[in-house]
């Protein structure tokens, strides 16, 4: 274990404007080595102000200095993530606060990057590893991850898997959508829409829908004739493929309406075919809030799309943003107050683990308890998304936070046999939104709202 004095001495070298780059490279390497050995060492590096100095060396240094800075930041991110899982986010939060995340992402996506592999692991690889060791703070990935999947599409290798993976990444963050677009992922997905199997076309259309939620990616898809390609699929594809194409067209058309009204008009599917999932306007319906386990996974991403569709149709629906950060709790509190005071509907996304008791003060468990406490004011609509229903959250003597199975008790009380759920399994986002809308149409605002 390094002493605080030893760590302080290496950090002083990084601070010294007269120190040589070789000396700073050696200091960064030492800090990285110490960070991998003891959990207390990353905390000491952070406390002594080492993180911003390493980020500066990563950005301004060259050769070994940049490589060792990337190595040290990876080691600190890895140990910091282990500490965060135990409840201490001091290192991970400090790393983001000093610009470490942005610096690592910039390096991981640098198109001019070059490193002689004979010299061992390079700074880009360490940057990618650091980002992967910060899953709670960054969904960003290095460009090589995206390039591999795009190359698989272009070479006809595992097309369904590659398209599905790109779609999942695109749903996670705006940064991912930009990166996928810049390695020509949109063009590769459009080619798959034309030439792939039915399953591959379905995955490609869904990936394009997620990708089109970024302006830059959207423009690139439009330049590649995306409206025309997807319109043909919406008109002549098989049923689930048609739906996926229509959903992608819906996202694309929202930006293309002013640029090219004629193209958007052509992109609209025939009224006769759209009617099974037609969604009436939500004006006049009561407020509704999505309650879910926010883990960044495919279910969350799917229901963020459902949320967007309902908002587009003027439903007063609430869902805490994925990037809400420190305001997550405040927004949850505000939304729950509106549910109670306006006699709204809680839309419970019932994954198997929904309602699990955790360390968080703003979890689906707490939201479920709120609905039970105010059962005369809050309506709960369970959304069945998995075969396991009602949910079966982990609990019992071995559980860290719920040894008495309180979560399962709440589940039993709220999701009793008389409560009707909405089956969302194997349904598109549009179909789910239509089902929710049908329920919300039954709960309309009256002349006088409750206080």
d(CA 264, CA 273): 17
pLDDT of residue 256: 42
Closest CA to 127 of 148, 116, 113: 113
pLDDT block averages, 10 residues each, the chain of length 451 = 78 91 91 84 88 91 88 89 78 82 79 63 80 55 68 80 83 78 88 87 88 86 86 81 84 54 46 56 93 79 88 90 59 90 94 87 86 92 93 90 90 88 90 94 69 46
Domain regions of the chain by residue span: 4-132, 143-277, 288-440
4-132 matches 288-440 in fold: no
Which tokens is 224 given? 């590649």
pLDDT of residue 328: 67
d(CA 379, CA 376): 8
| SS3 assignment for 322-382 | CCCHHHHHHHHHHHHHHHHHCCCEEEEEECCCCCCCCCCCCCHHHHHHHHHHCCCCCEEEE
**Fold designation for 143-277:** 1.25.10
Architecture of domain 288-440: 3-Layer(aba) Sandwich (3.40)
Question: For the chain, how are helix, strand and coil distributed in percent, rounded to 5?
Answer: 60, 5, 35
pLDDT of residue 252: 76
pLDDT of residue 83: 82
- Tell me if 314 sits within 8 A of 283, measured CB to CB: yes
- Tell me if 342 sits within 8 A of 287, measured CB to CB: yes
Which tokens is 279 given? 């969604």
pLDDT of residue 139: 42
d(CA 110, CA 122): 13
The CATH class for the domain spanning 4-132 reads mainly alpha
């Amino acid at each position: 274990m390094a002493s605080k004095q030893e760590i302080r001495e290496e950090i002083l070298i990084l601070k010294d404007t007269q120190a040589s780059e070789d000396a700073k490279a050696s200091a960064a390497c030492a800090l990285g080595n110490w960070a991998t050995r003891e959990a207390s060492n990353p905390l000491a590096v952070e406390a002594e102000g080492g993180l911003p100095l390493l980020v500066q060396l990563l950005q301004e240094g060259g050769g070994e200095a940049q490589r060792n800075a990337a190595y040290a930041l990876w080691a600190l991110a890895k140990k910091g993530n282990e500490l965060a899982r135990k409840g201490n986010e001091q290192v991970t939060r400090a790393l983001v606060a000093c610009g470490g995340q942005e610096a690592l992402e910039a390096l991981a996506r640098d198109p001019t990057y070059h490193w002689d592999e004979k010299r061992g692991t390079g700074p880009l690889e360490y940057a990618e590893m650091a980002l992967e060791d910060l899953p709670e703070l960054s969904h960003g990935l290095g460009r090589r991850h995206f390039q591999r999947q795009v190359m698989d599409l272009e070479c006809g290798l595992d097309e369904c898997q590659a398209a599905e993976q790109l779609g999942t990444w695109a749903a996670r963050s705006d940064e991912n959508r930009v990166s996928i677009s810049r390695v020509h992922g949109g063009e590769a997905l459009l080619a798959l829409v034309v030439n792939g199997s039915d399953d591959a076309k379905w995955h490609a259309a869904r990936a394009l829908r997620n990708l089109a939620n970024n302006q830059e990616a959207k423009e690139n898809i439009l330049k590649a004739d995306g409206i025309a390609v997807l319109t043909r699929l919406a008109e002549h594809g098989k049923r689930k493929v048609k739906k996926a194409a229509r959903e992608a067209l819906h996202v694309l058309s929202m930006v293309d309406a002013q640029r090219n009204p004629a193209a958007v008009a052509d992109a609209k599917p025939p009224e006769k075919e759209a009617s099974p999932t037609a969604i009436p306007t939500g004006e006049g319906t009561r407020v509704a809030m999505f309650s879910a386990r926010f883990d960044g996974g495919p279910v969350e991403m799917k229901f963020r799309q459902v949320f967007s569709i309902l908002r587009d149709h003027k439903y007063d629906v609430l869902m805490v943003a994925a990037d809400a950060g420190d305001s997550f709790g405040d927004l949850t509190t505000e939304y729950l107050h509106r549910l109670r005071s306006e006699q709204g509907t809680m839309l419970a996304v019932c994954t198997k683990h929904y309602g699990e008791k955790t360390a968080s003060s703003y979890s689906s468990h707490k939201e479920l308890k709120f609905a039970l406490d105010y059962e005369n004011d809050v309506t709960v609509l369970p959304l069945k998304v998995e075969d396991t229903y009602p949910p079966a959250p982990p609990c019992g003597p071995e559980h860290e936070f719920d040894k008495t199975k309180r979560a399962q008790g709440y589940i039993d009380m709220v999701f009793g046999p008389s409560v009707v759920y909405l089956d969302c399994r194997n349904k598109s986002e549009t179909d789910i939104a239509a089902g929710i809308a049908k329920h919300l149409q039954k709960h309309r605002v009256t002349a006088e709202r409750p206080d």
